[in-house]
């Protein structure tokens, strides 16, 4: 622990209102705060959470609050751990989540290691989630603002990293965060949120992928193998998708049609009804737990950052069993597991 106060904190400042307000809260709580903005992507689509404008917003907020501000250029790491795997996953007919991989490799584990080597006691971010210490472990909890909760995208953070992580805005609603920023006249108080993937925001996913891989067209067939249409690229589709797959995805004989399967060799896409998508289990890979847990255990599964969750049994690290049939989670997506409001871990869906 550094001399004086509660310790020295390296705060990741994205240039948004959440991390800006986090800086205020940390100062009020007695921490010595330094700010850092991660420069991750500098291509033609430079926008979103790591644009030049965001770096400037973070720098100005830091100056206003009289805290040092640094910029770490992690472009090579970002390309290696986030962009290249994202592109490769599409060629393998997977549906990747690049924000989770960015948090896994760059914003948490990577930044944590750098911060500890530089003599900091903690790393902090503006994520809407909470870290609570109880019964000898650090627990990753949902943020107070249910609509803004970001624990899902932190579901792979390890116990070691959690023990050095501060999430100051997790106890606040988004409205309260903006009110605090406004009270301190921060330039980010009314700044709009960036909701898209930073490195494809400007051009769009199809254009981004088309510049990097060959998109394979093919036919769309129903569950009986009968041709019902064609698609512009199997790599662009995802399991469970209903719109945008061609003239077959819509209402057919009164039933909504969904993408059921993609063939990586023939590039044929199969569509069917919602019932055709229902499964009773999911196989996982790249499993991570936020703290030690005993298998099997009853959990609530959240298959997306926001949306419906459901009850399941985490039988073993590699297997989830559902209490009742559910729509299949697209392979490549992350299934986060909760016990109550605590996120205990996650895995990437294999099948």
Which one of 102, 297, 337, 343 is the catalytic residue? 102
Shortest CA distance to 103 belongs to which of 78, 69, 129, 136? Answer: 78
In three-state secondary structure terms, 74 is coil
Q: For residue 198, indicate whether it is catalytic.
A: yes
Given 198, 297, 337, 343, the catalytic residue: 198
Euclidean distance between the first and the last CA atom of the chain, given in angstroms as a whole number: 45
How far does Cα 136 stand from its chain's mean position?
Answer: 27
Phi and psi at 160, nearest 5°, equal -60, -45
**Under a CB-based contact definition with an 8 Å cutoff, are residues 140 and 98 in contact?**
no
φ/ψ (deg, to 5) at 66: 60, 50
DSSP string, 261-325: EE-TTT--EEEE-HHHHEEEEEEEEEEEESS--PSSEEEEEE-SSSS--EEEEEEETTEEEEEEE
Cis peptide, bond prior to residue 296, ω within 30 of zero: yes
The rounded distance, in Å, linking the Cα atoms of 71 and 76 is 14
How many CB atoms are closer than 10 A to CB 331? 21
CA distance 87 to 95: 10
CB 268 within 8 A of CB 288: no
Give dist(CA 290, CA 121) in Å, integer: 20
Strands (E), the chain: 8-12, 32-39, 69-73, 122-124, 129-134, 137-142, 165-166, 218-221, 227-231, 251-252, 255-256, 258-262, 269-272, 278-289, 297-302, 310-316, 319-327, 334-339, 342-349
Catalytic residue status for 50 = no
| 151: CB partners within 8 A, 6+ apart | 129, 140, 141, 142, 143, 336, 338, 343
Catalytic residues: 102, 198
């Amino acid at each position: 622990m550094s001399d004086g106060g509660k310790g020295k904190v390296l705060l990741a400042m994205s240039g948004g209102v959440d991390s800006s307000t986090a800086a205020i809260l940390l100062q009020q709580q007695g921490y010595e705060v330094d700010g850092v903005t991660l420069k991750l992507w500098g291509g033609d689509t430079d926008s979103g959470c790591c644009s030049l404008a965001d770096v400037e917003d973070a720098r100005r907020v830091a100056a206003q609050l009289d805290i040092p501000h640094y910029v770490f250029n992690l472009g090579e790491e970002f390309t290696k751990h986030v962009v290249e795997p994202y592109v490769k996953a599409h060629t393998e007919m997977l549906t990747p989540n690049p924000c989770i991989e960015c948090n896994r490799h760059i914003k948490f584990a990577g930044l944590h290691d750098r911060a500890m080597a530089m003599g900091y006691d903690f790393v902090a971010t503006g994520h809407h989630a909470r870290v609570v210490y109880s019964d000898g472990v650090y627990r990753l909890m949902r943020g107070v603002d249910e609509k803004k909760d970001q624990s899902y995208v932190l579901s792979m953070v390890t116990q070691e990293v959690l023990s050095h992580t501060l999430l100051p805005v997790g106890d606040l609603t988004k409205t309260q965060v903006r009110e605090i920023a406004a009270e301190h006249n921060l330039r980010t108080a009314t700044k709009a949120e960036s909701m898209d993937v930073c490195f494809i925001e400007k051009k769009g996913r199809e254009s981004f992928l088309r510049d990097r891989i060959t998109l394979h067209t093919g036919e769309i067939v129903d569950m009986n193998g009968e041709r019902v249409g064609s698609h512009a690229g199997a790599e662009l589709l995802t399991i469970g998708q209903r719109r945008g797959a061609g003239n077959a995805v819509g209402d057919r004989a009164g039933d909504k049609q969904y993408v059921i399967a993609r063939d990586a060799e023939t590039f044929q896409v199969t569509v069917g009804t919602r019932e055709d998508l229902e499964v009773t289990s999911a196989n996982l890979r790249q499993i991570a737990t936020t703290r030690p847990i005993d298998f099997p255990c009853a959990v609530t599964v959240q298959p997306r950052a926001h949306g419906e969750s459901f009850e399941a049994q985490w039988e073993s690290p590699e297997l989830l069993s559902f209490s009742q049939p559910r729509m299949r989670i697209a392979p490549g997506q992350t299934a986060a597991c909760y016990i109550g409001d605590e996120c205990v871990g996650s895995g990437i869906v294999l099948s």
